[in-house]
Structure 1
Amino acid sequence: MPIIAARRYTEGKPEPADLALTGDPVIEEALPRGCFDWIGLCDPTAEEMARVGRQFGLHPLAIEDALNPRQLPKVDLYGQQLFVVARTAMMDPGGDTITYGQTSMFLGARFIVTVRMGSARAHADLRRALEADTEHLAEGADYVLHAVLDFIVDGYLPIADQFEEVAHAIEEAAIDQFPDPITIRRIFRLRRELRRFERIIGPMEELTLRLAEADLPVIDPSARIWFRDVLDHVRRAMARMQSLKETLAATVETAGLLEQHRQGVITRQLAAWAAILAVPTAIAGIYGMNFDNIPELHWRWGYPMVWGLIAMICGGLLWRFRRIGWL
């Protein structure tokens, strides 16, 4: 069985020996006061989950959902037990893709069972940190539920940090030059990933809100303040993701406006030079016609006069276009 850890805690201190998962039902009333079990599983099979389910009296529907890695975050109540599904997320190394996993938690009065499916972030460091803080761990299994949820939500922050770095780099580059097709495709991929993040992780806000506000049988009222802290972290992470999505959308819009401005400047410059060059072209075209009776055709000063006229008109146009900012 892929057991990461199976321990019994009394007054926040772990028992010397690991807990045996035999499948025999545990009578919670027979456990000492201030005692609870914490079972950590990773990618268990249906048979292994069924054995744990028999030992702790887990509901079959909850077991079925725990084995389905595509559940959305939720809180279900089965008698005096809570079933909580949370979604984990982490960046795919070397890419802009978010990889999702799932952690299901069965919470009873004297036990908590955590089931990780497809999540690369193990709970070993979290467990060691909690075991070092016996005062809080002695509060019971509901504090462990809070700690696991807080651990999962904290995993969203590196994703937001990495997306912010990419978004700001794209935003700075777009000020100087319109994004190339590769960058534009990357922007749309990032926006798609952010929309997917909101769709998958969004229900985490409702989940933590219910744990923080609702009157649930295995959540001590004094523990609700811990879940309100997790709720605050979820809302902060979601706000950052929404802000990033708006930043990427604004980057495309701003880059388009800047490119239109640059194209307008170039168009005005071309129009100005075309107007200046049209003057000698028109005069040369007139005097290039094959007629004898053209004014000043045989006049001694006709040639320099025409050049002077061309220079005067072109110089006047050049001065005018530079004054209005076209050149």
Structure 2
Amino acid sequence: MPRPRRGKEPPRAAQDGGVSRYSDPARTGEHRPVTVTAVIADGSDLVSVALEQARAALGKARLVWIDSDSRGPEVEALLRDLGVHPLTIEDVFETRTVPKVEDFGRYLFILAHAVRVPAEGPSRLQETELDIVVGARWVFTHHEAALTAPARLREEALRTRRALDPVKIAHALLDRLVDDALPAIDAFDDELEQLEKISLARIPRRTTVPRVLALRSALHRFRRAAVHQREVLLRLARGEFALIPADQLPFFRDVHDHAVRIADEIDDARELLSGILEAHLSMVSNRLNEIMKVLTMMASVFLPISFIAGVYGMNFEAMPELRSPWGYPAVLAAMALTVAGLLWWFRRRGWLE
């Protein structure tokens, strides 16, 4: 059955150039220029600066936000200077399959996932990682270049002179990641509606089961990320961490509510997909039963005809019917009556319906 739509894609997701699942060049051995963008806020002014200026402003400016889309010696040196634990640095630059949040006292490390449905369809669901390190007066973010949520937030803040602090930046990024997952839910709904129609077709398609299995695998990956991200947001929303002030907790609770809704939608989609697979297998079984019924009835009709033809096909001379001028028509009439009688009996039993 068609499922209710959640509306059009949020404007932020529509503007996003998309996220893709490919490895960080630092992990694959490839090398490309390191892109680092920095923003500092001193008073009410928000200014985009170079990395050297941002490092000089640490401890002096009200806010320093450094964003990187790759790994480089200068980025690692910056994190060490900020007192970031070596294990956190490793987590930042390595791909992790599960979102998490860790409190190191001086800073908070948040690992979140973003999802996107490519042109190939939801069965090719793509994920990317966003790492957020939140300090008292600074925030560091790391992600793949294809994830544009940090850049869009930074441009919006510079354009509108929006008042930001490290916690507000973390909230805004997590909010965008959760909202950008809604179009993926809609894409899964569309695919499920198509599969539901195909699964109930009179003649089953061979491609249905592979499509269902591929979609189930994508939903499994989507659910794993969504459930762990929901737990991360729950911990952020209930005030476990000293770096998050009490007046910011309602905003994180709002994001958590959206994450709960997405996780519930994924669970509903998985249940519906299981029902579609069962319905398809049932249709295949019914189709096979119908074919076997037709073949069995054909064999039942031809069995007595074959017996009659076999009897009169024997080469014995003492068969009086062979010399009778009405023998051949009589045999044909007997065959016809046998077929008619069997078909009448099949119809009376309801086997021809």
Answer whether TM exceeds 0.5 for this pair: yes
Aligned to 1:74: 100
Q: Rate the CA distance shift 1:186–1:9 in 2: closer, same or farther, 3 A.
A: farther
Q: 1:26 aligns with which of 58, 75, 98?
A: 58
Change (3 A) 1:73 1:16: closer
Equivalent of residue 37 in structure 1, options 58, 61, 64:
64
Indicate which of 37, 46, 54 corresponds to 1:15.
Answer: 46
Alpha-carbon distance change, 17 to 303 in structure 1, aligned in 2, over 3 angstroms: closer
Q: Distance in 2 between matches of 1:299 and 1:133?
A: 109
Q: Does 1:230 align with 2:263?
A: no
- Report the equivalent of 2:114: 88
Match of residue 109 from structure 1: 136
- Map 1:120-269 to 2 at 5 A: 120-130=147-157, 137-138=162-163, 140-176=165-201, 177-180=203-206, 182-269=207-294
Q: Is the 8 A contact 1:80 1:217 kept in 2?
A: no
User: Using a 3 Å threshold, how does the CA distance of structure 1 residues 72 and 19 change in structure 2: closer, same or farther?
Assistant: same
Aligned residues: 316
> In the TM superposition, what is the alpha-carbon distance from 1:169 to its structure 2 partner?
2.2
Identity of aligned pairs, percent? Answer: 29
1:165 Cα deviation after fit: 2.7
CA distance in 2, matches of 1:307, 1:99: 69
Which deviates the most, 247-256 or 271-280?
A: 247-256
| C-alpha separation in 1, matches of 2:147 and 2:48 | 27
CA displacement, residues 278-323 of structure 1 (integer Å, 9 cap, x when unaligned) = 2322222222333455465555655444433332221121122234
Q: Distance in 1 between matches of 2:181 and 2:48?
A: 34
Q: Indicate whether 1:274 and 2:299 are aligned.
A: yes
**Structure 1 unaligned blocks of 5 or more:** none
Query: Who is 1:100 aligned against?
Result: 127
Q: 1:60 to 1:308 in 2, by over 3 A?
A: closer
How far off is 1:123 after superposition?
2.1
- 2:10 maps to none
- Cα RMSD, aligned residues only: 3.1
Displacement of 1:113 after TM fit? 2.2
Q: How far apart are 1:142 and its partner, in Å?
A: 1.8
Unmatched tracts of structure 2, length 5 or more: 1-33
Structure number, greater radius of gyration:
1
Structure 1 range deviating more: 80-89 or 115-124: 115-124
TM-score, normalised to structure 2's length? Answer: 0.76
Q: Name the residue aligned to 2:8.
A: none
Q: Is the 8 A contact 1:4 1:42 kept in 2?
A: no
Q: 1:262 & 1:65 partners in 2: Cα distance? A: 53
Aligned to 2:35: 2
* Contact 1:50-1:63 within 8 A present in 2 as well: no
